[in-house]
Amino acid sequence: MLRINGRPTHPLPEAFWHGFFVYTTLRLLQGQPLWLPAHLERLRRHAAALGLAFPGFAALEQEVMHYSLAKADLLLRLVVFPEGYASSARPFVPPPAAAYSSGVRVWLTARQIHPDLGMYKTGSYLAYRLARLEAERHGCFEGLLLDKDGYLADGSRTSLLLYREGELSALLGGLEGITRQKVLECAAGMGFRVGKVRLRPDELTGHLLLAGTGVGLLPVGQPTDAALQELIARFRP
């Protein structure tokens, strides 16, 4: 179901066909939104960057309330576009439990994030979709994308983190992930050193992690460090 400006609607506005919108996806846990202020603030900033009128926090909070009434576990998408705002939701289905203990596999693609829009969560999503499909064809959970200079920048549906020698770093270049930021804040509180790093694929040493609304924190390969295992457990859906 699609709702625009608080009401079911059809057909899609033209902006949707061109990907001229910004959006955020958040999780509802038994109807309760997770990190809603952070999601709405990022949506506001990204709308401003693209010159889109922001409808205001109250209007979007009303959309969240609409879906919260079901008291279900959902993935809720909020969208801002030239004609207004929209929302849609689908059931939340987390990765299997084994993925958090044994880890998942990733596939390095040749896809690149947009050189100007890669930091924003926009409807220009084709490269990410193609990266995910390529990864799935190779039996992998996630496809990795590069920036124009060949540095690792993003996952097709997650943000990238690297753990090595007691330090947890965000890989620079892609979207500012809400879940990743929460993971970094939690890690700092647990005594991890936290930072940022820019790496090419052949410079990747340590343990890669995937952070996102739909997955929490997923390890790539089996984590053996006890502190890292605890951090993963804190964000397991």
- Read off the pLDDT of residues 25-65 as tens digits, 9 standing for 90 and up: 999 999 999 999 999 999 999 999 999 999 999 999 999 99
SS3 for 226?
helix
Given a cut of 90, is residue 6 above it in pLDDT?
no
Instruction: Round to whole Å and give the CA distance between 135 and 156.
Output: 9
pLDDT band with cut points at 50, 70 and 90 for residue 5:
confident
CA distance 87 to 134: 28
160, 209 contact by CB (below 8 A): yes
Residue 135: which residues within 8 A CB-CB, separation 6 or more? 106, 107, 109, 141, 142, 143, 144, 156
Query: What is 3-91's CATH number?
Result: 3.30.470.10
Q: Where exactly are the structural domains of the chain?
A: 3-91, 98-234
Q: What is the pLDDT of residue 13?
A: 73
228 half-sphere exposure, CB direction, 13 A CA radius: 27
pLDDT, tens digit, for every residue of 119-137? 999 998 899 999 999 999 9
Token match 């920036």: residue?
147
Select the more confidently predicted residue: 8 or 208.
Answer: 208
> Which has more confidence, 9 or 110?
110
Higher pLDDT, 17 or 183: 183
Q: What does the block give as tokens for 144? A: 């990795």
How many angstroms separate the CA atoms of 158 and 151, rounded? Answer: 16
Residues 190-203, mean pLDDT to the nearest whole number: 96
Q: For residue 168, list its beta bridge partners.
A: 163, 194
Contacts of 200 (CB under 8 A, 6+ apart): 150, 151, 152
CATH of 98-234, one of 3.30.1330.30, 3.20.10.10, 3.40.50.40, 3.40.640.10: 3.20.10.10
CA 147, CA 28: separation in Å to the nearest integer? 32
pLDDT (average), residues 198-205: 95
pLDDT value of position 1: 63
Angle at 10 between CA 7 and CA 14, to 5 degrees: 110
What integer is the mean pLDDT of 153-179?
Answer: 96
Q: Which value, in Å, is the radius of gyration of the alpha carbons in the chain?
A: 18
* Mean pLDDT, rounded, of the chain: 95
Closest CA to 118 of 176, 47, 200: 176
Domain 3-91 matches domain 98-234 at the CATH topology level: no
- State the residue for tokens 């929460």: 182
Given this model, what pLDDT does residue 3 score?
Answer: 76
Q: What pLDDT, in 10s, does the model give residues 68-112? A: 999 999 999 999 999 999 999 999 999 999 999 999 999 999 999
